[in-house]
Amino acid sequence: MTATVTAPMIRREIGNDGICVLTFDRPDSGANIFDAPTMRNLSDHLDTIEKDPSLRGVIVTSAKKSIFIAGADLKTLLKQAQTGELRAFIAEGQKVFNRLAALQVPTVAAIHGACAGGGYEITLACDYRVASNDPATKIGLPETTLGLVPAWGGATRLPRLLGADIAAEVILKGKLYGAEQALKLGLVDEVIAREQLLEAARKKLDGGKRKISAPKSGMTVVPPTTGGNAAPGRAYEIIRRSGDSSIDESLAMEVDAISELGATDATQNLIRNFFLAEKYRKGSSKIAPEKVAHAAVIGAGIMGSGIAQWLSSRGVSVILRDIDSEAIDRGLANIEKTYADAVKRGLLSVDKAQEGRARIVASTQPGMMRAVQIVIEAASEKLEIKKKIFLDLAAETPPKAILATNTSALPIDDLATTTGVPERVIGLHFFNPVSRMKLIEVVVGRQTSDETRDRAVAFRAADRKTAGGGARFSGFPG
């Protein structure tokens, strides 16, 4: 191996007052993220800090304009999840953060800017957290929205700091909080103007090492029911057991959970979707947002009727097709029931429900679908049936219509090649019951065009179906 000399990711400065300031400042980048070199760099600094008896305290901070540390390097993380190397990377991070937590001297994180996922977990390994009151400061643990758990100590240290209920609220929802809200929840100890941040951090060190009391047992938050995404359930389990597990046991549960989740298609798709949504959000896509007004759904079974109902409730007119008129009747009854339930639960007015229901036209007859912008196929899970449907769809739909399949297991490419227009074919995988499940996985085939992919992602985001919220935050969880 050749050693390459690179600029450090983290600067270490020790003042006359004996306080060591570690400043994250990734070279040639507007953001700090945790990748293997950054973790190694932190580990090297800790080697020196641990051996220096003259030190009085350590401050962890960032030199970036609007980012503290945005979290783990998700690109590498996805690759590691695919190759099975994730466990080692996570375990190494835990080791380094444990060393920070075990320092004899008090430690404080001075947070300005986005502090998400692994970026917040390093602050949890410090004794104190002070944050700037700047709007750029956003703090949280969004891992579960990507099918992961906070595994650099987040799911272990947060319940010990704030109790299981608050930890569950923060980790299962995966939201990012502004400074004031973070203060209210206890995620930070103090909020102050940016110019006074380091000063306030220095003062905090006077408080000495902080004693974390044993975690309070008992939890009122109920286990999450989040169909396609197993991560909130895994995180919940770790938090629930915080009362009767040691820190080491809890950290081991984190590593197990993240490596097992990382190996699943659901998690890998959520991470891929996050990249697509980010790309779309940043406007690098050349596709202007498109309002979908006309759609078709093929198959009026459990999923097809659910998808038709969901689309129609959002103002989209829907052609619902099945080959079996009894299936159509059952599908329509299902749709009526979902609308009636929504009215009963006060989510929709009677008028809105009627308007929605009226947007669905059901039919057993094939025919041209002139104005349709997207077709979602949800017919029986048989390759030969679906191949024939996609062949017909290529002829029946306008040249730009997206041809999406809701298949759970069949290869998109097999369906795509039949059509002669594979660039328009994509997977949009809904979950049952569609009216309640927020998740849609976007499954890109080998020949799916970037345009189809971007339009499908935009369609999903515009209709508030998200990859578990992945489109809504700008950090990289760790």
What is the set of active-site residues?
429
Q: Where are the beta strands (DSSP E) in 141-196?
A: 176-178, 190-192
Least Å distance, CB 372 to ligand NAD, is 15
- Contact residue for ligand NAD among 41, 156, 406, 466 (CB under 6 A): 406
Token output for 398? 């306008």
Contact 250, 150 (CB under 8 A): no
Helices (H), 359-449: 383-396, 412-419
Closer by beta carbon to ligand NAD, 238 or else 320: 320
Number of residues that bind ligand NAD (CB under 6 A): 25
Handedness of CA 72, 74, 75, 78 (dihedral sign): positive
Q: Does 295 bind ligand NAD (CB under 6 A)?
A: no
Query: Which one of 12-20, 81-89, 241-249, 380-388 is the stretch in contact with ligand NAD (CB under 6 A)?
Result: 380-388
Q: Does 302 bind ligand NAD (CB under 6 A)?
A: yes
Helix, strand, coil percent values for the chain (each to nearest 5): 45, 15, 40
Closer by beta carbon to ligand NAD, 87 or else 321: 321
- Contact residue for ligand NAD among 125, 257, 261, 389 (CB under 6 A): 389
- Contact residue for ligand NAD among 74, 125, 200, 300 (CB under 6 A): 300
Alpha carbon distance 419, 296 (integer Å) = 17
Closer by beta carbon to ligand NAD, 150 or else 299: 299
Alpha carbon distance 135, 142 (integer Å) = 18
Least Å distance, CB 380 to ligand NAD, is 4
Alpha carbon distance 56, 310 (integer Å) = 59
Per-residue x/- track, 316-345, ligand NAD (CB under 6 A)? -----xxxx--x------------------
- Contact residue for ligand NAD among 48, 325, 349, 408 (CB under 6 A): 408
Least Å distance, CB 443 to ligand NAD, is 11
What Rg, from alpha-carbon coordinates, does the chain have?
Answer: 25
Contact 82, 99 (CB under 8 A): no
Token output for 302? 């459990």
Is 102 exposed, middle or buried, given 0-12, 13-18 or 19+ CB atoms closer than 10 A?
A: exposed
Alpha carbon distance 41, 27 (integer Å) = 13
Q: Does 425 bind ligand NAD (CB under 6 A)?
A: no
Q: Does 303 bind ligand NAD (CB under 6 A)?
A: yes
Query: DSSP label at 210?
Result: P
Nearest residue to ligand NAD on Cβ basis: 301
Query: Which one of 15-23, 168-176, 429-437, 465-473 is the stretch in contact with ligand NAD (CB under 6 A)?
Result: 429-437
Least Å distance, CB 434 to ligand NAD, is 9
Q: Does 355 bind ligand NAD (CB under 6 A)?
A: no
Contact 46, 8 (CB under 8 A): no
Residues that bind ligand NAD (CB under 6 A): 298-304, 321-324, 327, 378-381, 385, 389, 406-408, 429-432
